[in-house]
């Protein structure tokens, strides 16, 4: 059965002391027996420190926010999957809208990263979602389907066990706008249908699909109550312990 997941994407925020304190607060909230699954997307310089700090909490996982698809070489400023695995980082966020929009990562590049991660037995948090121009034309389904077909659906059903999907409507990230619970459910149900059509109902029912558009304590319960919304990929609200703890408790 698929997991309910609260994932925090810290992006390029916090210094080391702030990151460690936030991780401690979240770890203490979860405790050793919590049934909630939490993933923290941590900036590269802090990955090992935060991973070591949270290691005893078995349902709290640390994710890198990106990686390169090559195992090594002359790629100044990049981080490889073997580097991440050497410090016990097993989750990586791939295809976030900011990587697509700002750093111009296209579906072909994202496919290479997904393939490299799966081949290294790592876990993929695969982001997809449409900009406002596509939403206004009501072509969001076709847009997201293309992202999935070109970057994810080359995997096998066995590979898909290592994939979490995060639907992030780009127009609802950092803008203060949020897709309605109904809009989120409609897209999540559509994504699950695409998975079912490609891999069968069992794979579809076991794939967690997170909502990634301005999740806050005030809307988390309503969003997570939808049958196909399995949690959230949280940005700004994950940088404050109290707000993120409220989101964790919203299932």
Catalytic residue set: 96, 168
- Report the C-alpha gap between 195 and 231 in whole angstroms: 18
- Report the C-alpha gap between 207 and 186 in whole angstroms: 16
**Which pair of structure tokens corresponds to residue 213?**
């558009």
Burial class (CB in 10 A: 0-12, 13-18, 19+), 103: exposed
Which residue's structure tokens are 């803008």? 175
Burial class (CB in 10 A: 0-12, 13-18, 19+), 129: buried
Length of the chain as a residue count: 251
- E-strand stretches of 90-245: 91-94, 123-128, 163-167, 209-211, 231-234
Q: Which of 62, 87, 76, 157 is nearest to 118 (CA)?
A: 157
**Which pair of structure tokens corresponds to residue 86?**
């050497």
Which residue's structure tokens are 């709290």? 60
∠171-176-179 over CA atoms, to 5°?
A: 55
CB distance 224 to 232 below 8 Å: yes
CA 17 to chain CA centroid, nearest Å? 24
The sign of the dihedral angle between the CA atoms of 189, 193, 196, 199 is negative
């Amino acid at each position: 059965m698929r997991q309910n997941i609260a994932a925090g994407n810290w992006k390029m925020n916090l210094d080391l002391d702030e990151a460690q304190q936030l991780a401690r607060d979240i770890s203490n909230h979860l405790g050793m027996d919590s049934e909630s699954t939490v993933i923290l997307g941590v900036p590269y310089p802090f990955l090992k420190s935060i991973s070591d700090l949270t290691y005893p909490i078995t349902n709290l996982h640390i994710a890198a926010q990106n990686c390169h698809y090559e195992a090594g070489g002359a790629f100044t400023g990049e981080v490889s999957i073997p580097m991440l695995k050497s410090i016990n980082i097993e989750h990586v966020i791939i295809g976030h809208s900011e990587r697509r929009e700002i750093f111009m990562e296209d579906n072909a590049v994202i496919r290479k990263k997904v393939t490299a991660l799966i081949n290294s037995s790592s876990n993929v948090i695969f982001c997809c979602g449409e900009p406002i121009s596509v939403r206004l034309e009501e072509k969001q389904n076709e847009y997201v389907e293309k992202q999935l077909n070109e970057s994810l659906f080359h995997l096998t059903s066995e590979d898909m066990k290592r994939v979490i999907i995060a639907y992030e409507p780009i127009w609802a990230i950092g803008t203060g706008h949020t897709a309605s619970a109904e809009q989120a459910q409609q897209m999540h149900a559509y994504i699950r249908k695409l998975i079912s059509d490609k891999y069968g109902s069992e794979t579809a029912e076991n794939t967690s699909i997170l909502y990634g558009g301005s999740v806050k304590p005030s809307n988390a319960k309503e969003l997570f109550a939808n049958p196909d919304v399995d949690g959230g990929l949280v940005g700004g609200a994950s940088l404050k312990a109290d707000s993120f703890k409220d989101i964790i408790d919203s299932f």
